[in-house]
Amino acid sequence: MSNFQSVKSPKIKPGKRAFVNSPFPWLLPLGLILTFVFVYPIFEIIRLSFTDASLLGSDYSYTTESYGRLFGQSEFFSMLLITAIFVSFSVVFQLFFGFIIAFLIDQGQKLDLKGTVIVRTSVLTAWAIPGVIIGIIWRVMYTETEVGIFNSLVGMMGMDLIPFLSDPTIALISVIVANVWRGTAFSMILIYAAIQTLPNDVMEAAKIDGANGLQRLFKVMLPMLAPIILVTLIIISIDTFNTFDMVMALTGGGPGQSTEVIALSIYTTIFREFNLGQGAATSVVLLSINVIMTLVYLKILGRQGEK
């Protein structure tokens, strides 16, 4: 060993050698990249949130007014509520439909049914389309005249046209449905991949032990899938909290503020009202929500997964 070292690095000093042999040289590039693209922007956002900076000028001063104004507005709390409704329903239904589709495709493959690849690909297409395009597609489908796709069906059934985008409550439901359609594919592909890795012998053993289909699903399959479901839950929750492109194209946050989620409000505050300070403060609130929610998921579901 000592011969090997003397041949490989004869002139390196002992301190330098310790550094070269440590993991730090390997981690340094990643650390630098993370610092510039992740830590620095977060630091800047937090710093700007304590200023009255505007996009219209370069002068600003440090203040806590942005937070004061934010928490002093009743609209802020109604926006939080709208975001909570949007995220919870979107996440629950994306996971539910994602699991169902993944399970059905897996069963279809086991039964040698044709067309499972087509189903998988077509579901994935929804995930590959940019959010703005999805917003426009659904806006066309929700059109509130007879030429709207859904309303023409409603009209054919002899019912009154549905105000998909102009009634505050129905508009929020419409946005959730569009977002579930958009996000289900991502949940499906992760859960489908996890199902493929489940050991067949465990499932077979459960079957031999007399467990029926539902018992095998709830007592064997789901516990084994728990870690990947946890990861999926965290990713789609953060993704849904950060959604604004689809909502902007579909409703623009209206009617009124009935579909204005936090991420859209940040965009409006910074890029339409030029209020960089308050937009940054709202971003910090969104970041905090995402971090807290992830920690809670890890604590609650992570423990269950370990069990």
Residues lying near other proteins in the complex (CB under 8 A) are found at: 54-58, 69, 72-73, 75, 143-147, 163, 165-168, 171, 251-258, 268, 271-275
Cβ count within 10 A of residue 81: 10
Q: Least distance in Å: CB of 1 to other proteins?
A: 34
Q: How far is the CB of 9 from other proteins (least distance, A)?
A: 21
Kindly state the smallest distance separating residue 236's Cβ from other proteins, in Å.
Answer: 27
Closest distance of CB 244 from other proteins, Å: 14
Residue closer to other proteins, measured from CB, 54 or 215: 54
Q: What are phi and psi of 51, to 5 degrees?
A: -130, 175
Cα–Cα distance, 237 to 289 (Å, whole number): 11
Please, which residue, 125 or 145, has the CB nearer to other proteins? Answer: 145
- Closest alpha carbon to 198 in 212, 216, 211: 216
Nearer to other proteins, 94 or 251 (CB): 251
Angle at 281 between CA 48 and CA 62, to 5 degrees: 40
Q: Which residue's entry shows tokens 């064997």?
A: 220
Q: Tell me, what DSSP letter sits at residue 261?
A: -
What length does the chain have? 307
Closer CB to other proteins, 91 or 246, in the complex: 246
Q: How large is the C-alpha radius of gyration of the chain? A: 25
Write down the least CB distance from residue 161 to other proteins, Å.
Answer: 8
Per DSSP, 218 falls in state I
Which of these, 31, 32, 5, lies nearest to 20 by C-alpha position? 5
Dist CA 58 CA 56 (whole Å): 7
Do residues 257 and 79 make contact, with C-beta atoms less than 8 angstroms apart? yes
Nearer to other proteins by Cβ, of 33 and 140: the residue is 140
Query: Tokens 């289909």 sit at which residue?
Result: 213
- Closer residue to other proteins (CB): 59 or 306: 59
User: From the CB of 253, what's the least distance to other proteins, in Å?
Assistant: 6
